[in-house]
Structure 1
């Protein structure tokens, strides 16, 4: 009987999948490290990411601390100050803005930067987009953690050193992935860098203000803003914030994780479809400037 291990064709067939996996992991490592190095060289990027939520926490929350009380509702077991309530929402704000800014970076990279070359590499385009998504989510989580640390130093009482803190970290990561996937999807349609202002006005601000980041849903319903209440209920960002908030206190987040993970899958699949030059709707081939 012939020993198959001495057959060079069999040996190559067995090694090919390993080389494929190694190549894919090498691509993931390269893209993530590139984003981390680029982030470390942009000195003001972390500061600019923290200024917005810290301004809300230090000024807005301080002004409404004694005016806007939060009743005893899940996941809280007692009355809480306003800054404690909005802290998860402000961490979500960091994820939201970084996820949307990733679409701006993707437009630049796709037209003039490294992604223009990467999208023509032998690796599957969906894997390259996933690598980019992982890099974006990692940066988002790091910035959100930096905000949480500063918030605690400013006196916001959050149960970080607990099992709930680890659960909240998972919720942060999944929320970052979902919002990063939304940023990828938006980058399919953003043709020029100047169009990012429209993204701010029609995506970021509505998603943030029509959510539970700043006020609970029952406050919206109680005030008679029924249409805002319904929009907030179906806003994916609401479920990302609620997952973080409930996980932080070790409570059951209900359907929030499933909504976040479901939206992540849908956004990412649509982004992969849009970046496919053969099938993309609003696709790259219709612009005349995208990679082949």
Structure 2
């Protein structure tokens, strides 16, 4: 057990040092959701009326509605950013060296994943603090109740990033793939609009959004901020997270990684 704990501590500390040295990454993670919260939400407020839907007990402003979605956005971008660092590690050879250690491969990948999730939760906490300063608040107990939801959603999105990083050979190819994943997942979800709004314009679009794992990550966070548990969203998040992690373990099989690095 000491070897497992040592490996976890080493990987988490390495990711923490990398995060501290990349201050622009922290600022960028906050600028994106703050722009949506301050600029876009103000413009959409008049155009989008929101009825009383769970977990809300009264009519809410658009800023309140998109707050959980922006928390999910932070975790989504952080998961992709963490996978970008994995692609870099693969090019430099450090990832292959890590996977050849005597510890189980699943533990090493889980440690990398957990380190990224810890960073994303810190970013979300700062964002929620800034939102509270602007008057967008949630019940006080919601700030604690949301932590397990952020852990679950962060693990799922981070595992998705692991899957992507296992399929990309070169760093310059990652940006296109990342945008191809991030923007459809974010816009085809309940982060910006309720599903019943989408159903009014296109039932097919609503069904696509309902099948999007990011939608359920957002809803898990949304209900948790108000001290409620959305069992359907939790089942989706846990199930998709396990599926993504299994795919990442297969993608990071050492034998397959060495075959991909052979010329030709």
TM over 0.5: same fold?
A: yes
List per-residue Cα deviations over 1:95-144 (Å, max 9, x = no partner): 00110111111011122053232122111221110110010111111111
1:98 aligns with 78
The answer as to whether partners of 2:99 and 2:254 remain within 8 angstroms in 1 is no
2:30 aligns with 50
Q: Does 1:129 pair with 2:95?
A: no
1:264 aligns with 241
Tell me: higher relative CO, structure 1 or 2? Use CA pairs within 8 A at least 6 residues apart. 2
1:216 aligns with 194
Q: Distance in 1 between matches of 2:149 and 2:183?
A: 21
Measure how far apart 1:229 and its partner are. Answer: 0.7
Unmatched segments (≥5 aa) in structure 1: 1-20
Question: How do 1:1-292 residues align onto structure 2 when only pairs under 5 Å count?
Answer: 21-112=1-92, 114-159=94-139, 161-162=140-141, 164-223=142-201, 225-278=202-255, 283-288=256-261
Equivalent residue pairs, number: 263
Query: TM (normalized to structure 1)?
Result: 0.86
The answer as to whether partners of 1:221 and 1:229 remain within 8 angstroms in 2 is yes
The two structures, once aligned, show a CA RMSD in angstroms of: 1.5
Unmatched segments (≥5 aa) in structure 2: none
Give runs of ≥4 in structure 1 deviating > 4 Å: none
Measure how far apart 1:42 and its partner are. Answer: 1.5
The answer as to whether partners of 1:182 and 1:268 remain within 8 angstroms in 2 is yes
Q: Distance in 1 between matches of 2:51 and 2:162?
A: 38
Q: Which has the higher helix share?
A: 2
Highest CA radius of gyration, 1 or 2?
Answer: 1
List per-residue Cα deviations over 1:63-99 (Å, max 9, x = no partner): 1223212111111110000000000000000000110
The answer as to whether partners of 1:111 and 1:289 remain within 8 angstroms in 2 is no
Q: Distance in 2 between matches of 1:114 and 1:95?
A: 25
Q: Distance in 1 between matches of 2:10 and 2:262?
A: 25
Q: Distance in 2 between matches of 1:83 and 1:151?
A: 9
Q: Distance in 1 between matches of 2:34 and 2:178?
A: 19
Q: Distance in 2 between matches of 1:112 and 1:252?
A: 42
- Partner SS state of residue 127, structure 1: helix
Q: Distance in 2 between matches of 1:146 and 1:154?
A: 13
Q: Distance in 2 between matches of 1:126 and 1:110?
A: 17
CA 1:43–1:289: 2 relative to 1, 3 Å: farther
Query: TM (normalized to structure 2)?
Result: 0.95
Q: Distance in 1 between matches of 2:59 and 2:93?
A: 50
Bigger mean CA offset, 147-156 vs 85-94: 147-156
